Amino acid sequence: MRVVLVGFGVVGQSFARILLSRAADLYTQHGIKPRIVACVDQGGSAISPAGLDLQRLLKAKKKGSVGFYESDARQDPLQVIENVDAEVVIECTPTNLTTGEPGTSHIIAAMRKGRHVITVNKGPLALSFPSLIELANYNGVMFRFSGTVGGGTPILEFAKRCLKGDSIISFQGILNGTTNYILSKMEEGLSYESALQDAKEKGYAEANPALDIDGYDAAAKLVIMANWIMGMKVTMKNVDRTGISAVKASDVKKALQRGNAIKLIASCDSKHLQVRPTEVSKKDPICVNGTLNAVTFSSEHSGHQTIIGRGAGGIETASAVLRDLIEIRDTVFER
């Protein structure tokens, strides 16, 4: 299977390393031999119809760009998507929740060329989910994005497959590890400001952490889940969103005295989408600490089912990309 990889940051490089370490068992267990025939980042591109040397590609990136793989490779992503023959495009550029670009343009170009698409980029899905699904169906291609929610934890697959015979009525959970870490530290006695600074020092929060603490990241994931799992047609503007910046240490302390914890909860009941700090019982399965994510699905016949796991990380998210690639291979190439 020939793959074009757009974006070669933490997730893209982790994906390359997984392919290097698992090449033999991927073929033995799944009958799949992925070949990255092109890779492109902001600095340039690397192209080889026979498949790129991944060790060499990783070394080139250490110099600043995959463009150093070959001295004359300077095509931009859209050119590579248009011109390089491949079955799958993996889109790993950074999330932009304002415009969805450049990821949205990459995905649309790939679908129009008849390529199957895998993305870990939440922006296009949060802003244009219904139209992208429609475009994928129109062009007869698969569109997979399990790494956008829960990192390596198969939250989307759990709801879509394990609960396939049931009807999910609602779900709620913790979808952002950074805010969960901050609130967990506040339970230990830190102020909001000190907990945020600790999260930055640990690498859990960015220098500008607005995407996390203002609830945008959780809202984006909520939109993806509502569309994919509940069959809704919603975007970011449909989410009632409140972040955690107004949560005080005294609020956390009072909640603890009641046997509760304050968590940033994202919820969907088929009509309303909401992200807000909420008191949750310490006995509730979704009341996890640190950077963990947890989601409880309420279904018509099975009752409540909770899935818990790490919600971020390069290697974890790259494993979700590989999971999607195997699904595409099993679905399309076994026909």
- SS3 state of residue 299: strand
State residue 37 phi and psi, 5-degree precision.
Answer: -90, -15
Q: Which of 53-67, 153-167, 223-237 has the lowest mean pLDDT?
A: 153-167
- Of 239, 240, 224, the C-alpha closest to 125 is 224
pLDDT digits (tens, 9 = 90+) for 180-212: 999 999 999 999 999 999 999 988 887 779 999
3-class SS string, 22-51: HHHHHHHHHCCCCEEEEEEECCEEEECCCC
Cα 332 to Cα 335: distance, rounded to the nearest angstrom: 6
pLDDT confidence bin for 301, thresholds 50/70/90? confident
pLDDT score at 71:
66
pLDDT score at 30:
82
Cα 119 to Cα 144: distance, rounded to the nearest angstrom: 7
pTM of the prediction? 0.91
Question: Domain ranges in the chain?
Answer: 2-152+315-332, 155-310
Q: Is 221 exposed, middle or buried (0-12, 13-18, 19+ CB in 10 A)?
A: buried
State residue 296 phi and psi, 5-degree precision.
Answer: -110, 125
What DSSP designation does 270 have?
S
Beta bridge partners of 129: none
63, 221, 248, 263: which one is catalytic? 221
Kindly give, in sequence order, each residue whose CB lies less than 8 Å from that of residue 131, ignoring residues fewer than 6 positions away: none
Is the pLDDT at 72 greater than 60, yes or no?
no
pLDDT score at 73:
64
Query: Do the Cβ atoms of 91 and 136 come closer than 8 Å?
Result: no
Is the pLDDT at 150 greater than 60, yes or no?
yes
**For the domain 2-152+315-332, what is the CATH superfamily, name and number?**
NAD(P)-binding Rossmann-like Domain (3.40.50.720)
Q: Is 221 a catalytic residue?
A: yes
pLDDT digits (tens, 9 = 90+) for 31-45: 888 999 999 999 899
Strand-by-strand arrangement of the 168-174 sheet: 239-241, 273-281, 260-268, 168-174, 292-299, 303-310
The fold of the 155-310 domain, in CATH, is Dihydrodipicolinate Reductase; domain 2 (3.30.360)
DSSP characters for 103-153? HHHHHHHHHHTT-EEEE--HHHHHHHHHHHHHHHHHHT--EE-GGGSSTTS
pLDDT digits (tens, 9 = 90+) for 216-260: 999 999 999 999 999 999 999 999 999 999 999 999 999 999 999
Per 3-state DSSP, what percentage of the chain is helix, strand, and coil (rounded to 5)? Answer: 45, 20, 35
Cα 225 to Cα 28: distance, rounded to the nearest angstrom: 33
Average pLDDT score over residue span 66-94: 89
